[in-house]
Chain A
Amino acid sequence: MPWHRCRERLIESAIRLCGVSSIAIVALIFLFLIKEGLGLLMTMPLAEFLGGQRWHPISEPPRFGILPLILGSLAVTAGATILSVPLGIASALFIAEIATGWTKEALKTGIELLAAIPSVVLGFIGMTILVPIVKTTFGLPTGLTAMTGSIMLAFMAMPTIVSITEDALVAVPKSHREAALALGATRWQMMFRILLPAAGSGIVAAVMLGIGRVIGETMAVMMVTGNAAVIPKTVLQPVRTMTATIAAEMGETVRGSDHYAALFAIGIVLFAISFAINMVADLILHRERS
């Protein structure tokens, strides 16, 4: 075989290996989670794990009910979504349609830089600045609440939402805009009635990916949400998220114990949730392309 063909084959198989290995790694991670976490279901029924209201991992006997943790994660995530989606879409509209020249460039870079701030730094800022503000503004007994976590996480979801939404807006054909303006629509009507619906699926995907980023975030939420495992009635209450529970308790567990298995089982639940979110985002993006 001539040398260049041989080289071609080699490169091709190397690239194939890279592609396959990332899928293989995801599959292996999932198998590992299942293997370590399923042991728990031998000792307690699934309904008691998912629906149990008490999380007392080190008591005798231990209680592994993760309903407060699931609701805690959902409360923080929902709050962050409500804050970041309107802001994110508005920023993307401004960057894509209104801003020109250096304003546009500065805004784009600035928002992308926001994604580069390590979450522990955001958590630290939240703890020292935001927590006291939340406490005094709402007259709460403590500023370590679900809402504090939501605000911090909204900052983290923003870059994802803004950049993907902006891409979707830019991808709308110019003829749509021209037709709308030619028919006498104002710029606002054009953006709101034509552009946003046309870019709809891209925007939904942006929101989903933003949510995916938020629900898996650990460090910042652990620092500002108070970590009390109660079922939240309002967002101005402390909550404990699934990610913070795993991070705070994993170091202490002995390999193979029930507590260890329970933390892995929480990992499976988290994995399932983010998998579902990514799946929905992917389906929507594909629908747009076809």
Chain B
Amino acid sequence: MRNALRGIWMTMLVMSSASCALAEESLQGAIQIKGSDTMVNLIQAWAEAFMAKHPRVFVAVTGGGSGTGIAALISGTCDIAASSRKITQKELAAASAMGAVPQEFTVALDGLAVVVHPTNPIKQLTLQQLAELFTGAITNWRDIGGEDRMVVLLSREVNSGSHVYFKEHVLGASQEFAPEALLLPSSQAIADEVAGNPAAIGYYGMGYANAGNAVLAVAKTVSDAAIAPSEDAVRTGTYPISRPLFLYVREASRGAVNAFLDFVQSPEGQVVVRQIDFVPLTPRS
């Protein structure tokens, strides 16, 4: 009897110390994530799900634009930079000058949706027409079969990854946005202005699409079919303005940051991607 009791005590002791060890091993700390405005809602959702699993880790998310995030990563004021464009050679050089070796992780896919007011009769455009609109070669909707109205171009500020991506992949690297283009400080500002302005055209990550904005179908060339941005079209790359979304860390990462990166790439993290209306890396099984 006595021995049996002692046995129970021992087991309980061992178990409790084991659970103590588990608690000590579990993650703690703070993760600072900064960058892409396009990704800010997605990362916030990831952060919430991650913090629910690891209550002792605090994840802070700020926007500001892809360039802002990468600049912060280089200067060491954040742990993870979110970027909707690839890091540039210039930035890599700046990073190595500061002693950092940025590591890249592809975490989701996105289509840049081109949007107009719902009453705009234009339903599709070619890449060529988009380039002509945004460089200012076409200034009236009439010229591409719309109503007789001056086009109001809406773009993002130059610190936005969407701005850079759109410039490189739609306008062409050597082309410039028309100086008349309004540079708005956020994707939401573009959504709001498009919803209230029948002459406006803008672009943002497809996650921002809403009932007040009409999303255009885009064709690669005149002879191709125009494709609307959808999950499959983005993953297969048939939607012409599709792009990967990245997270960057300063160097081979430590505990909590590493766990966060694993989490966002896991099936659980990719479910969140679909919930926020971006495109997961792997198709629905």
Contact = CB atoms under 8 A, between A and B. Distances in A.
Pairing of A with B? yes
Contacts of B65: 251-252
Nearest to B200: A142
A267 interface: no
A255 interface: yes
A100 to B, nearest CB: 46
Interface string B59-90: 00000110110010011000000000000001
B71 A253 contact: yes
B173 interface: yes
A55 B152 CA distance: 19
Residue with the greatest number of chain A CB neighbours at <10 A, chosen from B74, B91, B158, B185: B158
Interface string A204-232: 00000000000000000011001111100
Contacts of B200: 142
A227 B75 contact: no
Interface in A238-260: 238, 240, 248-249, 251-255, 257
A226 to B, nearest CB: 4
A58 interface: yes
B133 to A, nearest CB: 14
Contacts of A144: 182, 193
Contact of A254 (B64, B74, B180, B193): B74
Interface in A17-68: 54-60, 68
Contact of A54 (B91, B173, B179, B183): B179
B94 interface: yes
Nearest to B74: A254
Contact of A230 (B151, B157, B180, B193): B180
Nearest to B91: A254
The interface residues of chain A, by DSSP majority, are classed as: loop
Interface string B30-74: 000000000000000000000000000000000011011001001
Contacts of B71: 251-254
A240 B183 contact: yes
Contacts of A240: 183
A226 B75 CA distance: 31
B142 to A, nearest CB: 14
A61 B279 CA distance: 34
A3 B108 CA distance: 73
A240 B181 CA distance: 11
B256 interface: no
Contacts of A132: 196
Contacts of B185: 222-223, 227, 248
A67 B196 CA distance: 31
Contacts of B169: none
A141 interface: yes
A56 B176 contact: yes
A78 B174 CA distance: 36
Contacts of B75: 255
A235 B180 CA distance: 14
Given A58-B164, A227-B182, A254-B74, A141 B159 contact: no
Residue with the greatest number of chain B CB neighbours at <10 A, chosen from A68, A142, A238: A142
Contacts of B182: 142, 144, 226-228, 238
Given A56-B176, A254-B91, A227 B183 contact: yes
A238 B180 contact: yes
A228 B158 contact: no
B149 A249 contact: no
A285 B180 CA distance: 42
Interface in A141-183: 141-142, 144
B150 interface: yes
Nearest to A55: B179
A97 to B, nearest CB: 44
Given A58-B158, A254-B74, A141 B179 contact: no
B183 to A, nearest CB: 4
A254 B94 contact: yes
A226 B179 CA distance: 11
B197 interface: yes
A172 B182 CA distance: 49
Contact of B157 (A142, A227, A253, A255): A227
B199 interface: yes
A227 B68 contact: no
Nearest to B159: A252
B159 A251 contact: yes
Contacts of B199: 141-142
Contacts of A252: 65, 67-68, 71, 158-159
Contacts of A253: 67, 71
Interface string B11-31: 000000000000000000000
11 contacts: A141-B199, A142-B197, A144-B182, A227-B185, A228-B181, A229-B183, A248-B157, A248-B159, A251-B65, A251-B159, A252-B71
Given A226-B184, A249-B158, A257-B90, 12 more contacts: A59-B174, A141-B149, A141-B197, A142-B200, A227-B185, A230-B179, A248-B159, A248-B183, A248-B185, A251-B67, A252-B65, A254-B90
